[in-house]
Structure 1
Amino acid sequence: MAISTNGKGSAADGAPRCIALVGPFGSGKTSLLESLLARTDTVARQGSVGDGNTVGDASPEARAHGMSVELNIADATYLGDRFVFVDCPGSVEFLSEMDGALSGVDLAVVVAEDDERKVPALQLILKALEARAIPRVLFLNKIDKSTRRVRDVLGLLQPASAVPLVLRQIPIWEGGQATGFIDLALERAHVYHEKEPSTQIDMSDEDRAREHEARFTMLEHLADHDDDLMEALLEDIAPDRDRVFADLVNEMQDGLICPVFFGSAEHGNGVSRLLKALRHEVPQVDRLAQRLLGSQERQSLQVIKTLHTQHGGKLSIARILEGQVSDGDSLFRNGVEEVKVSGLFSIFGQQANKIATAGKGDLVALGRLDSVQTGDLLAQDTGEMKSLYTPEPRPPVLATAIAAAQRKDEVRLSAALAKVAEEDPSLTISQNQVTAETLLAGQGEMHLRVAQERLSGKYGLDIAAHTPHLPYAETIRSGTRVRGRHKKQSGGHGQFGDVVLEIAPLPRGEGVQFSDTITGGVVPKQYIPSVRDGVMDALQRGPLGFPVVDVSVCLTDGSYHSVDSSDQAFKMAGILAIRDGLSECKPVLLEPIDKVVIACPSDTTAKVNAIVSTRRGQLLGFDARPDWPGWDEVQALMPEAEIGDLIIELRSATAGVASYTSEFDHMAELSGKAADLAMQRSGKQQAA
């Protein structure tokens, strides 16, 4: 989200409601945002994703890849009511953007389409909304391209939702195309017009019969939570229209149902009806404040996103839950740490427009709050507070080793990585102490690619990236007794150190142990630590080229010279003894094995099991994923060498929705062709 700042714009009166546009990748969220802005006369002409002229997805990375990779924010006014729309990426690799945004919205419009392949992705999104008790409606997009009855499409999508999907409309069909709709609450028919509001028409007798049947089904869903309505239906009494609307609003806001609208965002069909529903049915910001704060409710703001702009510095995007904020105000991070607002902005697409003040319900950008992070609450008075719904960062599933192409840029790279990770909490930066690499880890191949493009484009860095080296190790299968002698004479004092070491294997996971059984002072006590240092240094790289583990080294004998012996001489003696001795101890390569838990739709479990097996994995079993109908969790032990790009194959086999977690379990011997391949691969990486 490459925001630029200027001095235009001002805070408008009224308390806007904030609406997230969410849904699977490619469902048409950005097109819907554009259509909403056009229908409210916020933009003069509706742009097109294909033409690259939309308000959303205007960053270089989004334009380059033709997909949403960050939040898109725009405000609009419709019939006197103010709205802020937050278009969230739909790709599973960028769902962390949605996670942050959901902390500041009053309702979510879930954009879906008639495509069974996207149902698992839809379930991922609905699960996130359900877990945080966010009211939602579903907009069935691309109705002009649907080949099934809307009722059948609902049957296809229903397994993704924990609550009933309740039709608010049915289509009017003509020649196999949806040319309009019948509103089941108002009992009125409308015909579509290209990128214009629909007009009301009279219903045919056939459509009237269809409307009566569909409306009764809608009322039955409402009656499940309203005994009086159930009684009226049983007695065949037509319910009052106001009562029906009240039930629709209350049950949607309470998360008991998910109303379904439909249309075509590209052609502007169904957008006016959706806007009217949003105007009357989206809850006020007070309900969000209660959901986030509970009894802590007071004047505060919820931070949903952090940005680092090229010219305006750091911006914290926050929803004002209660109160008013002005440029220069002091706020308290989580009610404790005082921070001062240095610049206040409204946001529209890629523009951040400076304003003097903002009030309850506004979504604003606060300048230069250096210590503030995404997810923080900003109170307007002191007294510790905490959000009841702070999202956990999604665990990374793919990593790349990253470095500055030029040594002089290393400090700049470190600073830029910190900023990129602060903007996107699902990116993690870590240092692998074994391989001495900086690792950038994220949610997938595209996620990491976009992060690198930002480092190059936004921060002007030349980046070198490669597959991370694997932390192989080696151990020994047998022991030996070896002497190491370091003797050197070059005028003046010479160097003399002489040690005898017993080297033996240890059980797996025991690490490295050093001891001594010296008696009689054959190796003076003050030199024994130096012998140990030499041993430890030599074990950092064994005969196979990797750190040596699970080995015991005991200093048993040696000799010294009263003049020429020194700490350095005995350290060198220890190094020489280890180097000579290890090659006699049948060295063997060890590879790290991880415990992996893979989450996947149940109908893809067999494919996932096959992937694990072909990657030298040991299947431990699978169970139903808790609280996820239609999903399984596969447990396995897998070599880290096979996990590196595992997510790419998993996503390919699961319509892009699988994920996994892994943790180190143990080291295991690797021999034969697999060991030769590992050595060859490691050698190439080190050479590179």
Structure 2
Amino acid sequence: MPDRVASPRVAALVGPYLSGKTSLLESLLMACGAIHRKGRVEDQNTVGDASPEARERSMTIEINVVEADYLGDRWTFLDCPGSVEFQQDAVNALMVADVAVVVCDPDPARVRMAMPLLKFLDQRAIPHMIFINKVETAQVTLRELMEAMQEVSDRPLVLREIPIREDGKVTGYVDLVSERAYRYKPGERSDLIHLPEQVKDRELEARQELLESLADTNDTMLEEILEDIVPAKDEIYDTLTKDLAEDRVVPVFFGGALEDNGVVRLLKALRHETPSVDETLERRLVDSGASAPLVQVFKTVHAAHTGKMSLARVWRGPVKDGAQVGGEKIAGLFTLTSPGQPAKASEAPTGAVVGLGKLEGINTGHLLDAKGTLETDWPTPPTPLAALAVRPAKHGDDVKLSGALARLCEEDRGLKMEQNAETNELLLWGQGDIHLQVALARLARQYNVEVQSEKPLVPYQETIKKRTQQQGRFKRQTGGHGQFGDVHLEIGPLSRGAGFAFHDKITGGVVPRQYIPAVEQGVREWSRQGPLGFPVVDFEVTLYDGSFHTVDSSEQAFKTAAQMAMREGIQACAPVLLEPILKVEISVPNDATSKAQRALSTRRGQILGFDQKEGWDGWDVVHGMLPQSEMHDLIVEIRSSTMGVGTFSWTFDHLQELSGRDAEQVVERRRAMLENG
């Protein structure tokens, strides 16, 4: 089997939540000799997931970057979050990886959880292998599991080994290319054994299936199989390597990370078959003909001891400390031997993953050469699905909070900060409740900003349904100059979405020209809070008559008169509450389509229909309209009914009248809130 190039390569460990990626990382590092004692997630002593937030929840919440050597080859392992709420970090890591190892459970019912990830890998043609972890707990045969997994993979799965079972337990495996058999030794390298008689027939059958899959991409091998010629092992390995690099097939391995079973076999496959950095760069369609350094940022972090650090893959090196990238000078070059413990370095070679210090104008996804930022096809951040209104617990921390949130959103592109103009709230948007709670915990620990959070206000508005005329007369005598303004207004409704219109129909100078803008300004200021307590929209006001005093009239007097006319006349206009309606598209496996429809209907939503999700076999997109007030826990229900893979997108569509008891409750809550300040 020929060796791949020895330049540093990057493998991303990805997969559904609880599949065991962090345990696999421990086992890989142990096999590489990078650590001498394995940690356990439940003991909170693993190399990855070192942050307090990760350990409190026993889950990966950000990329763990770890370097190791295996048989003279340099590797960077990117252990990625499995929870769908933190998937943006996994996407970022995959964009700079040479290969992905998709870690899965040996449970057909949970296989579906890997489908969105596998779909992304195939859409981007990212080479990937599957490692079926916890095989010792499997309740089904490997054949049944492979059939279930093939249903969620666009690429053909190629089984690379078959299990050896004794007394119903997996005790070893047979490599289908070398046709060698091995027995597991927990915590040690597997023993080479004779091929057991009871697996010979299965081995021949599985090997033939392997060869037939490879023959689909290799005409020479196809001819050999048709002529009953056994392909040479080197030819099989070469075809597997080529097909992996081109994302034509997906090799499948299995084992148990907790007992180190099958991990060395996985490492050997990575070593011999993972594409080089040059091949990855070519796959990414980046011009590699130039010789100048080229790096790409895939993660931004802010740390107390280093400030801003950009984690980057070196596509072309060497990159030296103090060099120019993206038009800025590198203020510190760091290697990443273990998470959270960067070490100073003078230069980094092609293929390495490094930390670049204090590139203030550089963000995640930026592709940098010495002169500036180049165009790239970096994925767009996901639509935010849940929000919290946040405010500082300490008076005067507003600026500190805004700065800390901006840095959090720079680190995690799945987060978004918004100053809502309609409710005047500072909103933190994320991918779910856990995502937001982790962000708040990091605000407190990392930036020393304690916050109070609550469910965001719904930006209700109000409008009118009838037309009326109303005089507003303001007169005040104060001993010297008094105040006098007199206006006659016609107030009427406009079509939905029209906003506000002001018309001037004054003739004969009954209201001097210099006071007319004040009348409009008075109406606009009044409309910020109507009789129901919300901004008033979709109405028009016509100034058609009035009077003035040559001495006592002023802009302020006419503004006040206009506001008096609006307050007195609005009740005759039949004010009505408007609630924002969102257009939503819920993406789910088709066996959950009815559940998605029910989620809409039970939330006062309108179902518009559904159709097949383009490019996704067995998935539907449900289209509907949903009141914004009913959105807050929609993602929880969708995920709970789809094993976490369902999602939705939304956009504001229109305002719609709300009446009856629902409207009364909204108005009552609003009045109570205003009374309480």
Common fold by TM > 0.5: yes
Counterpart-to-counterpart distance in 2, 1:84 and 1:435: 46
Amino acid at match of 1:517: K
Counterpart-to-counterpart distance in 2, 1:392 and 1:92: 16
Aligned to 1:647: 635
Pick aligned residue for 1:536 from 519, 524, 538: 524
Aligned to 2:374: 385
- Kindly indicate whether the alpha-carbon contact (under 8 Å) linking 1:179 and 1:191 is maintained by their aligned counterparts in 2: yes
Aligned to 1:5: none
Amino acid at match of 2:334: F
Counterpart-to-counterpart distance in 1, 2:670 and 2:240: 62
Indicate the SS of the match to 2:342. Answer: strand
TM-aligned CA deviation for residue 252 of structure 1: 1.3
Pick aligned residue for 1:442 from 416, 430, 439: 430
- Kindly indicate whether the alpha-carbon contact (under 8 Å) linking 1:313 and 1:368 is maintained by their aligned counterparts in 2: yes
Counterpart-to-counterpart distance in 2, 1:361 and 1:533: 62
Aligned to 2:65: 73
Aligned to 1:8: none
- Kindly indicate whether the alpha-carbon contact (under 8 Å) linking 1:474 and 1:548 is maintained by their aligned counterparts in 2: yes
Counterpart-to-counterpart distance in 2, 1:683 and 1:85: 56
- Kindly indicate whether the alpha-carbon contact (under 8 Å) linking 2:17 and 2:81 is maintained by their aligned counterparts in 1: yes
Aligned to 1:277: 269
Counterpart-to-counterpart distance in 2, 1:145 and 1:482: 78
TM-aligned CA deviation for residue 539 of structure 1: 1.3
Backbone CA RMSD of aligned residues: 1.4
Indicate the SS of the match to 1:637. Answer: strand
Amino acid at match of 1:464: Q
- Kindly indicate whether the alpha-carbon contact (under 8 Å) linking 2:366 and 2:373 is maintained by their aligned counterparts in 1: no
Amino acid at match of 2:50: A
Amino acid at match of 1:652: S
CA deviation profile, 1:602-628 (whole Å, cap 9, x unmatched)? 110000100100001110000101111
Aligned to 1:605: 593
Counterpart-to-counterpart distance in 2, 1:434 and 1:567: 27
| 1:249-264 mapped onto 2 (5 Å cutoff) | 249-264=241-256
Aligned to 2:303: 309
Pick aligned residue for 1:204 from 196, 208, 212: 196
Aligned to 2:25: 33
Counterpart-to-counterpart distance in 2, 1:576 and 1:96: 53
Aligned to 2:391: 403
TM-aligned CA deviation for residue 49 of structure 1: 0.7
Counterpart-to-counterpart distance in 1, 2:19 and 2:352: 28
Aligned to 1:49: 41
Q: How many residues align?
A: 669
Unaligned runs of 5+ residues in structure 2 are none
TM-aligned CA deviation for residue 187 of structure 1: 0.1
Amino acid at match of 1:356: S
Counterpart-to-counterpart distance in 2, 1:94 and 1:276: 30
- Kindly indicate whether the alpha-carbon contact (under 8 Å) linking 2:6 and 2:72 is maintained by their aligned counterparts in 1: no
Aligned to 2:340: 350
Aligned to 1:163: 155
TM-aligned CA deviation for residue 559 of structure 1: 0.8
Indicate the SS of the match to 2:447. Answer: coil
Indicate the structure whose relative CO is greater, using CA pairs within 8 Å and at least 6 residues apart: 1
Aligned to 1:190: 182
Aligned to 1:455: 443
CA deviation profile, 1:63-117 (whole Å, cap 9, x unmatched)? 0111000001111111111111000101110010011112211000010112234
Amino acid at match of 2:589: P
Pick aligned residue for 1:101 from 85, 93, 101: 93
Pick aligned residue for 1:499 from 483, 487, 499: 487
Counterpart-to-counterpart distance in 2, 1:548 and 1:664: 18
Amino acid at match of 2:295: L
Aligned CA distance change for structure 1 residues 287 and 511 (closer, same or farther; 3 Å) = same
Counterpart-to-counterpart distance in 2, 1:527 and 1:117: 72
TM-aligned CA deviation for residue 296 of structure 1: 5.5
Counterpart-to-counterpart distance in 2, 1:19 and 1:206: 35
Which moves more between the two structures, 191-200 or 642-651?
Answer: 642-651
- Kindly indicate whether the alpha-carbon contact (under 8 Å) linking 1:469 and 1:685 is maintained by their aligned counterparts in 2: no
- Normalising by structure 2, report the TM-score: 0.97
Aligned CA distance change for structure 1 residues 460 and 684 (closer, same or farther; 3 Å) = farther
- Kindly indicate whether the alpha-carbon contact (under 8 Å) linking 1:103 and 1:302 is maintained by their aligned counterparts in 2: no
Aligned to 1:360: 350
Counterpart-to-counterpart distance in 1, 2:672 and 2:81: 38
Unaligned runs of 5+ residues in structure 1 are 1-12
Amino acid at match of 1:623: D
Counterpart-to-counterpart distance in 1, 2:585 and 2:476: 57
TM-aligned CA deviation for residue 491 of structure 1: 1.0
- Kindly indicate whether the alpha-carbon contact (under 8 Å) linking 2:107 and 2:140 is maintained by their aligned counterparts in 1: no
Aligned to 1:148: 140
Counterpart-to-counterpart distance in 2, 1:579 and 1:285: 70
Aligned to 1:9: none
Counterpart-to-counterpart distance in 2, 1:173 and 1:243: 29
Indicate the SS of the match to 1:408. Answer: coil
CA deviation profile, 1:316-361 (whole Å, cap 9, x unmatched)? 0111111211211122x2xxxx110111111112211111211111
Aligned to 2:663: 675
**1:22 and 2:29 matched:** no
- Kindly indicate whether the alpha-carbon contact (under 8 Å) linking 2:366 and 2:374 is maintained by their aligned counterparts in 1: no
CA deviation profile, 1:176-219 (whole Å, cap 9, x unmatched)? 11000000010000000111110100012221221111100111
Counterpart-to-counterpart distance in 2, 1:383 and 1:515: 52
Amino acid at match of 1:363: V
Indicate the SS of the match to 1:491. Answer: coil
Indicate the SS of the match to 1:221. Answer: helix
Counterpart-to-counterpart distance in 1, 2:85 and 2:139: 29
Amino acid at match of 2:573: C
TM-aligned CA deviation for residue 14 of structure 1: 5.6
Aligned to 1:6: none
- Kindly indicate whether the alpha-carbon contact (under 8 Å) linking 2:310 and 2:355 is maintained by their aligned counterparts in 1: yes
Aligned to 2:328: 339
Pick aligned residue for 1:429 from 417, 424, 427: 417
Aligned CA distance change for structure 1 residues 679 and 658 (closer, same or farther; 3 Å) = farther
Aligned to 1:563: 551
TM-aligned CA deviation for residue 151 of structure 1: 1.0
Aligned to 1:513: 501
Aligned to 1:218: 210
| 1:63-142 mapped onto 2 (5 Å cutoff) | 63-142=55-134
Counterpart-to-counterpart distance in 1, 2:474 and 2:152: 72
Counterpart-to-counterpart distance in 2, 1:436 and 1:546: 12
CA deviation profile, 1:135-159 (whole Å, cap 9, x unmatched)? 0110010000001111110111111
Amino acid at match of 2:23: S
- Kindly indicate whether the alpha-carbon contact (under 8 Å) linking 1:117 and 1:655 is maintained by their aligned counterparts in 2: no
Identity %, equivalent residues: 48
Pick aligned residue for 2:465 from 468, 471, 477: 477
Aligned to 1:419: 407
- Kindly indicate whether the alpha-carbon contact (under 8 Å) linking 1:289 and 1:297 is maintained by their aligned counterparts in 2: no
Counterpart-to-counterpart distance in 1, 2:373 and 2:367: 10
Counterpart-to-counterpart distance in 2, 1:296 and 1:667: 52
Aligned CA distance change for structure 1 residues 60 and 564 (closer, same or farther; 3 Å) = same
- Kindly indicate whether the alpha-carbon contact (under 8 Å) linking 1:496 and 1:560 is maintained by their aligned counterparts in 2: yes
Counterpart-to-counterpart distance in 2, 1:304 and 1:290: 18
- Kindly indicate whether the alpha-carbon contact (under 8 Å) linking 2:330 and 2:358 is maintained by their aligned counterparts in 1: yes
**1:286 and 2:275 matched:** no
Aligned CA distance change for structure 1 residues 383 and 445 (closer, same or farther; 3 Å) = closer
CA deviation profile, 1:160-185 (whole Å, cap 9, x unmatched)? 11011110000000111100000001
Counterpart-to-counterpart distance in 2, 1:309 and 1:505: 55
Aligned CA distance change for structure 1 residues 430 and 574 (closer, same or farther; 3 Å) = same
- Kindly indicate whether the alpha-carbon contact (under 8 Å) linking 1:106 and 1:284 is maintained by their aligned counterparts in 2: yes
CA deviation profile, 1:12-64 (whole Å, cap 9, x unmatched)? x9621100000001100000000000111110111111111100001111001
Aligned to 2:578: 590
Indicate the SS of the match to 1:446. Answer: helix
**1:300 and 2:300 matched:** no
Which moves more between the two structures, 672-681 or 218-227?
Answer: 672-681
Pick aligned residue for 1:661 from 649, 659, 662: 649
- Kindly indicate whether the alpha-carbon contact (under 8 Å) linking 1:290 and 1:297 is maintained by their aligned counterparts in 2: no
